[in-house]
Amino acid sequence: VYNHYKRTRAESSDATARRSDDEVELSKSNILMLGPTGSGKTYLAQSLARMLDVPFAIADATSLTEAGYVGEDVENILLKLLQAADFDVARAQQGIIYVDELDKISRKSENPSITR
């Protein structure tokens, strides 16, 4: 994430956005945040998006389903991000998607339903 935004800011014409923070080198753009309910994980991600001035979309992992089933699919998450970017694809490509409640999906798979 850091390298992505550093590269984005380097292309910016805003002199205050340009910084020489070359000492930090990250290779992944995905982050997994762990913590108890109410500890501020979502707030931290929202604040990061606001500070970086990038679009932000939240998705609840428990509502995600395969395409064709009742519920939300992955395309809807991308649509939320595009809406947050005012349908500017280039801006959306720099955005953050926050998938919440991933731990609940693993708990669901541990207790399979006999009605399925």
**Alpha-carbon radius of gyration of the chain:** 17
Q: Rounded to an integer, what distance in angstroms lies between the CA atom of residue 56 and that of residue 3?
A: 18
pTM confidence score: 0.65
Residue-wise pLDDT tens digits, 56-91: 999 998 887 766 566 678 888 999 999 999 999 999
Average pLDDT (20-34) is 70
Residue-wise pLDDT tens digits, 100-111: 988 787 665 565
Neighbours of 59 (CB within 10 A): 19
Q: Rounded to an integer, what distance in angstroms lies between the CA atom of residue 99 and that of residue 94?
A: 16
Q: Supply 24's token pair.
A: 């930090």
